[in-house]
Amino acid sequence: MTFLPQELIRKKRDGGTLTRAEIAFIVQGITSGAMADEQVGAFAMAVFFQGMSMDERIALTCGMRDSGTVLDWKPQALGKPVVDKHSTGGVGDKVSLMLAPIVAACGAAVPMISGRGLGHTGGTLDKLEAIPGYNAVPSPELFAKVTKEVGCAIIGQTSAMAPADKRLYGIRDVTATVESIPLITASILSKKLAAGLDALVMDVKFGSGSFMGPLEKSRELAESIVTVANGAGCPTRALLTDMNEVLGTTAGNAVEVVEALDYLTGKQREARLHAVTIALAADMLLASQLAGDLAEAEAKAEAALTSGAAAEIFARMVVALGGPVDLLEKQAQYLPLPALTVDIPAPRAGVVTAIDTREIGLAVVAIGGGRTRSADPVDPLVGLTDIVGLGAAVGPGQPLAKLHVRDEAQAARATAMVQAAMVIGEAAPVRGPIIAERLG
């Protein structure tokens, strides 16, 4: 059957429900260029205002997944479940660096396809590329080889995967239609499901440093993703996790790699970061049927850490993808932070009662550690360490965080931003649970 793009746009604009065939036609038009940018933008705007049923979301997700290469792990004869995690992004979220080797050490294959930072959020690929020699965009053959032999590989999305999403997202970005839950759902899942997964776990952030903001909006997205992914044939679970403060104590690229290495080797494990990492690892093991219940899954994840198995797998992954063989032993040599370090003083005595976590992320961008456009370069070595959390007591002049910067001008700019982001009052705030809800 032949369809006209403008008639399908009209149908959705007027609140109609598109059929699977109609959505397949739209996705094909987006991928091939048969639909003009104006038509793709109009379609996105129609969805933004009218929404989509769950069946429409499943059809859109599957169509976008199938618009390019879909990985098939059967020829690799992995003999283990293939599972991944996706986070909606935040500040200081270096969880993937620890999570992939932990879950691999527990018997899963983790082909983790991650993204770069944009706006106030950091990107896993930018963190890994702070490691000298690390190849974040290997050939498909090397990606498969490392996944099979090491157990995990963290790389970037190739242009061959979900090309419909790449074009649609670019148009959404310039037509003010990014914040559509049906389109966000299809965008996230089309890329993840193209990785040929047996199971997926979502980390959906809420709070001042999250993409979605309030818990209610984050829950709506999590419910959409879980329903659509399961409807597309991929068993999926989701956790709603708090991003009202930085996750861990660092924000940047090299500084977050250092914190991840300290975590894996047992040198230091910040409590909230540990809680999120173990919770996600446990859900990945449950989704992969590698544990019978939550207690068993958490125990397996903890054992992978304490035995050193997870650290060993991370080290092997780095070497297999071109990084140094002695990164764990000589991290200061390979991740040299800038010589200029500046303590950011608290403007007055009191207790940190609230944090604009998004502003902390933007402070990292301001010193060159992030990007506002996808083509912007990133300085991998600048960042923030020793960031205080909610409830921290500070005296006048005591540090809220430590800056690692290239020059005094950067330091002055970031200092003002971090001080403005931290609200200092008299009474300690009530901290909510780091894991607010589990879905699926």
Is 84 in the active site?
yes
Q: Tell me which of 12, 57, 61, 84 is the catalytic residue.
A: 84
> Residue 12 corresponds to which amino acid?
K
Is 86 in the active site?
yes
- Calculate the average pLDDT of the chain: 95
Residue carrying the six token digits 């940047």: 252
Give 9-36 pLDDT, tens digit per residue: 999 999 999 999 999 999 999 999 999 9
What helix, strand, coil percent values describe the chain, rounded to 5?
45, 15, 40
| pLDDT reported for residue 376 | 77
Q: Tell me which of 187, 250, 288, 415 is the catalytic residue.
A: 187
Q: What's the pLDDT band for 295 if we cut at 50, 70, 90?
A: very high
Mean pLDDT in residue range 374-392:
91
| pLDDT reported for residue 120 | 83
In angstroms, the CA 411 to CA 388 distance is: 18
Q: Tell me which of 172, 219, 237, 402 is the catalytic residue.
A: 172
304: left (phi over 0), alpha (psi -120 to 50) or beta: alpha
Closest CA to 147 of 113, 114, 111, 112: 111
Closest CA to 195 of 129, 144, 125, 137: 144
The H or E element containing residue 41 is helix 37-50
pLDDT of 243 > 80? The answer is yes
> Residue 240 corresponds to which amino acid?
L
SS3 at position 414: helix
| pLDDT reported for residue 253 | 96
Taking CA atoms, 46 is separated from 6, 49, 209, in Å, by 11, 5, 29
Give 311-365 pLDDT, tens digit per residue: 999 999 999 999 999 999 999 999 999 989 999 999 999 999 999 999 999 999 9
Q: Tell me which of 192, 205, 219, 316 is the catalytic residue.
A: 192
Q: Tell me which of 61, 88, 96, 124 is the catalytic residue.
A: 124
| pLDDT reported for residue 372 | 73
Q: What's the pLDDT band for 279 if we cut at 50, 70, 90?
A: very high
Is 357 in the active site?
no
User: CB of 185 within 8 A of CB of 226?
Assistant: no
122 CA to centre of own chain: 8
Closest CA to 249 of 240, 237, 258: 258
> Residue 191 corresponds to which amino acid?
K
Instruction: Give phi and psi for 153, each to the nearest 5.
Output: -150, 130
Residue carrying the six token digits 């440093």: 209
Radius of gyration of the chain (CA): 22
In angstroms, the CA 314 to CA 135 distance is: 14
What tokens does 334 get?
């390979």
pLDDT of 373 > 80? The answer is no
Q: What's the pLDDT band for 396 if we cut at 50, 70, 90?
A: confident
User: What's the CA dihedral at 258, 264, 265, 269 to 10 degrees?
Assistant: 80
Q: Tell me which of 67, 87, 88, 236 is the catalytic residue.
A: 87
Residue carrying the six token digits 């094909």: 28
| pLDDT reported for residue 105 | 98
Q: What's the pLDDT band for 88 if we cut at 50, 70, 90?
A: very high
What tokens does 81 get?
């479940």
| pLDDT reported for residue 117 | 72
Is 192 in the active site?
yes
The order of strands in the sheet holding 399-405 is 251-252, 383-385, 399-405, 340-345
User: CB of 289 within 8 A of CB of 125?
Assistant: no
Mean pLDDT in residue range 100-129:
90
> DSSP for 144-201?
HHHHHHHSEEEEEPPTTS-HHHHHHHHHHHHTT----HHHHHHHHHHHHHTT--SEEE
What is the DSSP code (8-state) at residue 109?
B
Q: Regarding predicted confidence, which is higher, 110 or 174?
A: 110
| pLDDT reported for residue 119 | 74
> Residue 166 corresponds to which amino acid?
K
What is the DSSP code (8-state) at residue 215?
H
Is 218 in the active site?
no
What predicted TM-score, i.e. pTM, was given to this entire model? 0.94
Beta-ladder partners of 83 = 199
Q: Tell me which of 12, 65, 85, 94 is the catalytic residue.
A: 85
User: CB of 321 within 8 A of CB of 138?
Assistant: yes
Give 181-194 pLDDT, tens digit per residue: 999 999 999 999 99
Residue carrying the six token digits 């992030």: 370
User: CB of 39 within 8 A of CB of 76?
Assistant: no
> Domains along the chain?
5-65 (1.20.970.10), 74-320 (3.40.1030.10), 337-425 (3.90.1170.30)
Q: Tell me which of 120, 166, 191, 358 is the catalytic residue.
A: 191
The H or E element containing residue 156 is strand 152-156
Q: What's the pLDDT band for 158 if we cut at 50, 70, 90?
A: confident
pLDDT of 374 > 80? The answer is no
What tokens does 365 get?
């961008």
Q: Tell me which of 12, 65, 86, 94 is the catalytic residue.
A: 86
Closest CA to 264 of 291, 223, 301: 301
Alpha helices by DSSP H, listed for 232-293, are 254-265, 271-287
The H or E element containing residue 223 is helix 215-231
Give 211-237 pLDDT, tens digit per residue: 889 999 999 999 999 999 999 999 999
Residues 6+ apart with CB under 8 A from 173: none
In angstroms, the CA 206 to CA 215 distance is: 5
